[in-house]
Amino acid sequence: MLNELNDAQIEAVTHIDGPLLILAGAGSGKTKTITTRLAYLLGEVGIDPLNTLTLTFTNKASAEMRERAIKLIGNNITKFPLLCTFHKFGLLFLKFHIERLGRANSFVIIDSDDKKRLIKAISKDLKIDLAPSFIASEISKYKNNLLEPDDVVEKAELPEYKQAAQIYVEYQKNIKENNLVDFDDLITLTYKILQENRDLRIETSKRYQYIMVDEYQDTNELQFQLLQLLCSEHNNLCVVGDDDQSIYGWRGANIRNILEFHQNFEDTKIIKLETNYRSTNQILEAANSLIEHNRNRLGKKLVSFKGDGKEIELLHSIDEAHEAKNIAGQIKKLLKDGVDPDEIAVLYRINALSRSLEEGFTKEGLRFKLIGGTRFYDRAEIKDIISYFRVIANPTDDFSLLRIINKPRRGLGKTSIQKLQNLAKKQNNSLYMTILENSVDTLQKAISKKAALTLKDLIKTIDELQDETQSSWDNFITIFEQKVGLKNYYYKNQDGSDRVMNIDEFYGYLRDSSKKNPHLTLDEFLNEISLQSEQDQVEDNAVNIMSIHASKGLEFEHLFIIGLEEEFFPLLGDGCNMEEERRLGYVAFTRAKSHLTLCYTDSRFYKGYRKQGLEKSRFLGEAGLIKNATFKITKSSSFKKGDLVKHKIFGIGRVQAVTKSGKEYKLLINFGGNKKEILSSFVQAV
């Protein structure tokens, strides 16, 4: 299994005990290395598969790695290693151990959309007018910092954060009463149980004696702390990642986890994978040159296995309409020459820039797909089916019941639903139990008799469907449609045929899942689809349009990147992290295999106004693609390669390299041919 690996990969694969950081550059065979290492541990060293744990960030990645590893080992494997996402691991762990927190293991996962709906309902009750997305983000931060509602209430000072704290209190109360968990809980509660139960922590750590983590640069603080607990008894932690591809700081990823790994885990071995099998020399030289301007990095230089290729092209357009037309023209020529549309992509830094591409490509008759549009599981008709299934699985799930209480329409108005909620609150009961336990006569004192009878019929339908879950899934789907009739309901609406096709696709997926797992339960199915990630939805056979973030992990023969202008890429202004912007540039460049075209315009329509006289992006200069480029200074107390600095003895010099040295940075400075290594606190910017 080592025959197809290079020397650095072999060294990484055959390292067995102790902490290991595999610093894997873009296109350097990261997946091949980590899967071969797993296969090596199982097939050559003889480690029990049940004693390994490999964690990823997407279901797609875990499925691919599992398939590759098993293929390397052969078909004689009888026990399978646990290879899953962080959240799937949390789900499995909580199913066995959540009772240690006084919770039942029949919990249901709610997704981000459900979370926002619940927040919206609580905000309405509390008469608080804050954006649900803001509150959802705040609650996520609280949980990932292990802050209980009481802690947040106590520490909140500004008015909006005091209100967020109030909503957090009610939110937590609601999900506990309904036995729900959100995505953050899957890791937060797992960490809490391990932290509070020493015996279980030791047992779990001893069980998973060899732990591997993919895309380690994307881990957040809580995931890092969880990993510390999981490997507390052995320190056999192997992480694979690239600090230069850390682009998710905005959603909590902590780049320090990878930068300081060797400090957090004693005797860490660091192996750099620097041979790139994807891109040509020209592309890698530009990417290397760009990323070297960052200060906070461990440092590596990609070398092309493929060798030289086409020069990088700069495409200059008058405006975004002209840009879209130019790109469409080039793509049409590529398609005419027989290039597979799946090998062509257009990337952008700002989502708003996709509008001109979509409009321009449509005018030119160029077929495309927008990656990152409405996800399958976020479509209204699919959310409705899932909500029905959740109520069938857990009748006390109030907010799922509220979503489907009038779908298909049952003549229940907002007033009737509100009165029902008031009655449930008064009786301290769930909506389902309130309808079930009260007679029609009692209910009609709060709502009309017609509404009461309608609700009783709904409860009867749910009860009957609960019984059908014990039969075959084919039969369940048939009975479900007969009793609920969502396909008929949506067919009468706008885009009816498309919605019906989506419903049929969902049913097909359920049938397929039940064939793969004959013992599949409704709970398991709901939990699995809740864990689906955005990249798991990527389709084939079309020209791709997507954000740089969505392109992570993908590669294309022909790549166009638009918006290479100051303010668009890099983004400027408050909250802008120039180092992360460069990492985005590095990620974008290294998606290209052989042809890279960087596009910039003189003006661009954005946020309702036309911006005139745009400056070319500094990244074109930093990547060595524009001669005599003026390097713009980014406000910071630190330094970067290319900065001019002044020393009180040696005078003016230019920074050539930056390395971490304790709490400071060590600068390699060229003082007119006299090169010196000086601590950053002893020089000042010019």
The set of catalytic residues is 30-31, 214-215, 245, 591
CB 680 within 8 A of CB 667: yes
DSSP secondary structure code for residue 411 in this structure:
S
What is each CA distance from 409 to 450, 457, 458, 588, 598, in whole angstroms? 14, 13, 12, 47, 51
Residue the block writes with tokens 């290079």: 6
Q: Within 10 Å of residue 497's Cβ, how many Cβ atoms?
A: 9
Q: What is the enclosing helix (H) or strand (E) of 593?
A: strand 592-601
Helix (H), strand (E) counts: the chain: 29, 23
CB 499 within 8 A of CB 491: yes
- Encoded amino acid at 534, one letter: E
Tell which residue, 551, 565, 555, 556, has the closest CA to residue 621: 565
Q: How far apart (Å, rounded) are the C-alpha atoms in residues 317 and 287?
A: 23
DSSP secondary structure code for residue 44 in this structure:
I
Q: How far apart (Å, rounded) are the C-alpha atoms in residues 206 and 235?
A: 11
Tell which residue, 30, 56, 63, 62, has the closest CA to residue 242: 30
Q: How far apart (Å, rounded) are the C-alpha atoms in residues 411 and 405?
A: 10
Q: Within 10 Å of residue 381's Cβ, how many Cβ atoms?
A: 22
Cβ-based neighbours of 39, under 8 Å, separated by 6 or more: 1, 68, 69, 72, 73
CB 85 within 8 A of CB 99: no
Q: How far apart (Å, rounded) are the C-alpha atoms in residues 63 and 497?
A: 32
Q: How far apart (Å, rounded) are the C-alpha atoms in residues 229 and 410?
A: 51
What is each CA distance from 640 to 255, 298, 630, 652, 657, in whole angstroms? 18, 14, 15, 15, 7
Q: How far apart (Å, rounded) are the C-alpha atoms in residues 595 and 245?
A: 21
Q: Within 10 Å of residue 47's Cβ, how many Cβ atoms?
A: 18
CA 265 to chain centre: 26
Q: Within 10 Å of residue 343's Cβ, how many Cβ atoms?
A: 17
Phi-psi region of 598 (alpha: psi -120 to 50; beta: other; left: phi over 0): beta
What is each CA distance from 76 to 70, 71, 324, 516, 600, in whole angstroms? 9, 10, 53, 20, 55
What is each CA distance from 273 to 302, 554, 588, in whole angstroms? 8, 18, 19
Cβ-based neighbours of 223, under 8 Å, separated by 6 or more: 86, 187, 257
CA dihedral for 62, 65, 71, 73, sign (positive or negative): negative
What is each CA distance from 638 to 296, 643, 645, in whole angstroms? 10, 10, 11
**Residues of 651-670 as b/e, b for ≥16 C-beta within 10 angstroms?**
eebebeebebeeeebebebe
Q: How far apart (Å, rounded) are the C-alpha atoms in residues 441 and 141?
A: 46
* Peptide bond between residue 49 and the one before it cis (omega within 30 degrees of 0): no
